[in-house]
Structure 1
C-alpha cells in the first residue's frame, strides 16, 4: 500500500507538500522524503513526535540514538510507517533543525494501492515557498523607523555616559565582590 501524506510547515503562510511513500518504508525514509521535498540540505538533526488528534506532542523518535544508554532511545530506522500510522492514527509531528525549529504537521490523507511504474517516495504536490529565515533589514534615510541623530538633540558626548564621570569613584564598590 501507498501512504499519501500532507506535510504542512507550521507558519502563517500556506506552505505544504504532498508526499507518497510505501507503507513499509521507515520513518527515516520519510524523513529523507521530507528533506528532499522542502529542499533542505539534510545535514541537521530531526525527530518525529507521535501525537494525539489535537496535535499534542507525545513520544520522540529521533534520527539518531543520542540517549545516555545506547539502544534505549527510539530511532527512525526502527519504525515502519505502518507500525505507527493507519486510518485511525493519522497524525505525527516532524521537527527539522533544532536551531531553527522547522516544525511540520504531518497527516496521513490516503492509503491507496501501489501504482505500476511509479517511484516511491515521491512529491505529488508542492505549495508555497520556504522562507529563507529571518529577513535582512536594510534601513534608508526615508525609513520612518530609522534613527536620525542629526535631527535629535544628541551629540557624541551623550553616548559616552561614563567618560569623565567620577560619580562612581565615590561609591564603595569592591571590584572583587564575588
Structure 2
C-alpha cells in the first residue's frame, strides 16, 4: 500500500507538500523525502512525534539513537511507517533542525494502491515557498495588544535594582 501524506510547515504563508511513500518504508526514508521536498540539505537533527487530533507531541521517533534501556526512543532507521501509522493513527509532528525548529504537522491523508510506473517516494504536489527563517511561535496575550495599551508608555528608565520607589514591602515573607 501507499501512504499519501500532507506535510504542512508552521508558517504564516500556506506552505505544504503532498508526498506518497510505500507503507513499509522507514521513517528515515520519509525524513529524506520531506527534506528533499522542502529543499533542505538534510544534514540537521530531526525527530518525528506521534500525535493526536490536537497535534500534541507523544512518542518520539528520533533520527539517531538517543538513550539506552527505558530511556531509549525509536529510531527512524529501525521504525517502519506502517508500524506506527494506520487509518486510526494518522497524525505526526516533525521537527527539523533543533536549532532553528522548523516545525511541520503531518497527516496521513489516504492509503491507496500503488500505481504502475510511479517511483516512490513521490512528490505529488508542492504549495508555497520556504521562508528564510522558521516561524517563531507567539505566546502573546491579547490583552497586551488591546486598544488601551500603548507601547510608547513603557518606562525605559525602570531600575530593577532600586526597590525604594516600588510599592511593596521587600521583606514581606
State TM-score, norm by structure 1.
Answer: 0.72
Between the aligned partners of 1:71 and 1:59, the Cα distance in structure 2 is 11
Tell me the residue number matched to 1:65.
65
Q: Which runs of 5+ in 2 are unaligned?
A: 135-173
Q: What is the CA distance between 1:72 and its match in structure 2? A: 2.4
Per-residue deviation, residues 111-133 of structure 1 (Å, max 9, x unmatched): 10010111000110000000112
Tell whether the 8 Å contact from 1:65 to 1:71 is kept in structure 2 after alignment.
no
Matched residue, 2:143: none
Residue of structure 2 equivalent to 1:104 = 104
Cα RMSD between the aligned structures?
1.6
Note if contact 2:17-2:125 (Cα within 8 Å) is conserved in structure 1.
yes
Partner Cα separation in structure 2 for residue 56 and residue 42 of structure 1? 24
> After alignment, is 51-60 or 35-44 more displaced?
51-60
Question: TM-score scaled to structure 2, two decimals?
Answer: 0.74
CA contact (8 A) 2:66 2:72 kept: no
The equivalent residue for 1:137 is none
- The aligned residue for residue 164 of structure 1 is none
- Which residue of 2 is the match for residue 157 of structure 1? none
Write out aligned runs for 1:1-178 (5 A). 1-67=1-67, 72-133=72-133
C-alpha separation in 1, matches of 2:18 and 2:53: 20
Q: By how many angstroms is 1:68 displaced?
A: 5.4
- d(CA) in 2 for partners of 1:52 and 1:110? 17
Secondary structure at 2:74 match in 1:
coil
- Gaps spanning 5+ residues in structure 1: where? 135-178
| Greater C-alpha radius of gyration | 1
Pairwise CA distance, 1:69? 5.8
How many residues align structurally? 134
